[in-house]
Structure 1
Amino acid sequence: MAKLSNRWSSITVLLLLLRNIVIARPYDRQSDGLTLRKTPSDNYLRVAGGAGEGSSFKVALFADLHFGENAWTDWGPRQDMNSIKVMSTILDSENPDFVVYLGDVITANNLPIHNASFYWNQAISPTRERNIPWASLFGNHDDAPFEWPIDWFSSSRIPQIQCPSNCSEGDECSFKGTSRLELMRNEIEHNSLSYTGFGPQNLWPSVSNYVLTLLSPKTDHKSPLMFMYFLDSGGGSYPEVISNIQSEWFRNKSHEVNPDSSIPEIVFWHIPSKAYEKVAKKVAGRRRRTQCVGSMFKEKVAAQEAEMGMMKLLTERPSVKAVFVGHNHGLDWCCPYEKMWLCYARHTGYGGYGSWDRGARILEVSGEPFTLKSWIRMENGTLHSEVVLSR
């Protein structure tokens, strides 16, 4: 038991250090003559400044960070520190205007604490410290129930650092986990740079469903340059699906904000749809070269449990240029599908399965004419898989 207590003491020190590991100078978000400002309406990303040729808006996608993985061991906090280094390196290299946290921000099934927002806050700290706005959505691990480690039962009791000895009713030791609603509420209420949004209540238990509008850097500030849709693909506390009612929400919302499909649209969620499986199998069966870029066959596509209409809606809208997902840590490919692209991000975090090199997918949006480009920036600074997704 003494050995276990020492281990918990070292973890406490590491977590305190973790709060201060990011040393960054806050600065105004300016890039290529553009300044990002948050308007009173939370779903607008207002880009002000020059609209000339060469102006661009850059987005970094951080996927599968898995903060809090094996939080009761020495290994877990080290991985969180490594993940912060990855994000810090990429943010400093790419200097993005916006960041998307693409799900599995934390590994809730490994967190024996009442409020997992502690680890969520650690995950967004590199972005927040640099004054970069961001948005997040949920993956299948973010609100998963706590799974009791078998090795805890080999000692006299569970670690006292998490369960006080005077616990009488068991409430302090219940580890019920933190719901999607609690995690999102904490992020929104305590971070003015967060553009994360709650979805309509009728979509519950799905939570992170919202749309952001990137406005054109013209003098007319009401001109959209692109719409970005965020969807909760489930997992954790409920099945891994994008439900029919979410699809209907997307249909109605897209017709409301972009009725004639004249403005480009991109979509983010965590768990790949069945269409990703279809694409991967088709590419594997071909002997000739394809238009796909990136790692295709490091592992099999782990798709949602069912397809409930979302992909059909997307293929029917010519304005949808690309879908971006995480979930599969060994895949970072982009492949054409119908009239759009299906893309993976890149495994960013040191938590979670696999030992593949870490990195992040970068998106670059330009206007006049509209262009959407993407590439992978690795932790070691190298670039690969550059691709034009729309022009």
Structure 2
Amino acid sequence: MKVGCSLNFVEAVVLCLILLPIGILADMPLRFRKDGTFKILQVADMHYANGKNTTCEDVFLSEEPYCSDLNTTAFLERTILAENPDLIVFTGDNIYGFDCPNPKKSLSDAFAPAIASNIPWAVIMGNHDDESSLSREDVMKYTATLKNTLSKFNPENADYIEGFGNYNLEVGGAEGSKFENKSVLNLYFLDSGNYADCCADRDFPSPGLSEVHRIVYGYNWVKNSQQFWLLQTSKRLQQEYMADAEALKLRVAAPALAFLHIPPPEFNSSMLSKKVGVQQEGVSGPSVNSGLFTSLAGAKDVKALIVGHDHINDYCAELFGLQLCYGGGFGYHAYGLAGWARRARVVVVNLDKTENGWGPVQSIKTRKRLDDANFTAIDDQLLWDLEYA
């Protein structure tokens, strides 16, 4: 494991030069690159608190004296530099609320590398983000005001949706292609809540009491209103896409990815197949199976559900044609395993190369980046391919 990594001056300059073409978000929607790729960096469970004053969990004793939240920041900077993603997705427990006397500052510091990069970034909340002085609603509202974020509080004219931070993003085809004005990749973000029947974790003044509540009542779940919104949104996007003559020839809707924090119970199914990665702890799912997996599978466009929450699970596995993927723990103030490197998941979406230029999405692939001495990339995996759709 390598901790204490930070960017030197030369690396910082190179990062700025690499990212400069990204431009200003207001003038550039999400779009595939000219080389027909779109890359997403998933950051799961940073558990950020108070910077250099925050200690690390589950590292070797020799590393403890110089390990802090700054190692999480350095890992994020390092990964952005190496991967140069088109979108950064933070999948919850971005801060560890109980250790954050100033949650707005902790949120700003946690997302600082993404903000500085000028790369678009999006956020969903976990079960720990609202355990400080900000309510769950306030956390999402504040996050949505930060620079370069595409995060949304909730869709407009959709007051019926439960939770905070349910929204979708559309990714346009390559510039100059027949699909440049169509969303060829759709991204759904869902709030999986915190604890069952818990109005707000701030009502529980200590981590111990919150843990007792979790043991008794379990984790929360994605509600019917959220699933209804997702299905309606998916239906609309598929209809818009299939109205295009080029898309109609394929008879296959634009693929989609879904992100949330707490995994549904199906992540623990005995029927999972093609598992790539490891499971080193149980699935800490919700206390109720709300039918989310059935909704996602029924939508037909969602090809992968990507979550966080269980830090030492990092596998992707298939269930009835839907890929279920963990990100693996990213942050150093979060539990892990000493010697088992913190990690990030990278998703690369590729367009189909046709005689007339770039077409629709051809494949969705993934791998992981480890924060070790060699910054190792592992577990290359095909999640979906148009040829087998």
TM range (shorter): 0.7 to 0.9
Could you tell me how far apart the structure 2 residues matched to 1:21 and 1:195 are? 29
Specify the alignment match of 1:348 in structure 2. 330
Query: Which of 94, 119, 123 is equivalent to 1:132?
Result: 119
Pair 1:274-2:265 in alignment: yes
Question: What is the CA-CA distance between 1:123 and the residue it aligns to?
Answer: 0.9
The 8 Å contact of residues 376 and 384 in structure 1, kept in 2 or not, is answered as yes
The aligned runs of 1:67-146 (5 Å cut-off) are 67-68=48-49, 78-111=67-100, 113=101, 115-144=102-131, 146=132
Matched to 1:208, the amino acid is G
| Alignment-mate amino acid for residue 234 of structure 1 | G
Q: Distance in 2 between matches of 1:235 and 1:143?
A: 9
> Counterpart of 1:8?
none
The count of corresponding residues between Structure 1 and Structure 2 is: 321
Deviations 1:266-318 (A, max 9, x none): 1000000011121xx345xxxxxx5110012x111111221212211111233
- Unaligned 5+ segments in structure 2 are 1-5, 58-65, 200-218, 243-251, 353-360
Task: Find the aligned partners of 1:30 and 1:57 in 2 and give their Cα distance.
Answer: 17
Structure 1: runs of 5 or more not aligned: 1-17, 147-176, 284-289
Partner of 2:365: 373
Change in Cα spacing, 1:344 to 1:308, as seen in structure 2 (3 Å) is: same
User: What CA RMSD, in Å, does the superposition of the two structures yield over aligned residues?
Assistant: 2.9
Residue 345 of structure 1 contacts residue 360 of structure 1 at CA under 8 Å; is this kept in 2?
A: yes
Q: How far apart are the structure 1 equivalents of 2:191 and 2:284?
A: 16
Residue number in structure 1 paired with 2:140:
184
Instruction: Identify which range, 124-133 or 196-205, moves more after superposition.
Output: 196-205
The equivalent residue for 1:389 is: 383
Matches within 5 A, 1:136-285: 136-144=123-131, 146=132, 177-191=133-147, 193-200=148-155, 202-203=159-160, 206-219=163-176, 220=178, 221-235=180-194, 238=199, 240-259=220-239, 262-278=253-269, 281-282=270-271
**1:245 offset after TM fit, Å?**
1.0
Alpha-carbon distance between aligned partners in 1 of 2:161 and 2:228, rounded to the nearest angstrom: 14
Question: Quick one: which of 325, 329, 354 aligns to 2:311?
Answer: 329
CA distance in 2, matches of 1:318, 1:186: 33
TM-score, normalization by structure 1: 0.75
Structure 1 position 82, deviation (Å) = 1.0
The correspondence of residues 20-99 of structure 1 with structure 2, limited to 5 A, is 24-25=12-13, 26-27=16-17, 29=19, 38=25, 44-47=29-32, 50=34, 54-68=35-49, 78-99=67-88
State how far apart, in whole Å, the 2-side matches of 1:218 and 1:73 are. 44
SS in 1 for 2:299: coil
Cα deviation per residue 1:99-144 (whole Å; 9 max; x = unaligned)? 0001000011222x2x411111111111222221100000000002
Larger Rg computed on CA atoms: 1
Could you tell me whether the CA contact under 8 Å between 1:247 and 1:308 is conserved in 2?
A: no
Kindly, what percent of the aligned residue pairs are identical?
Answer: 27
TM-score by length of 2: 0.75
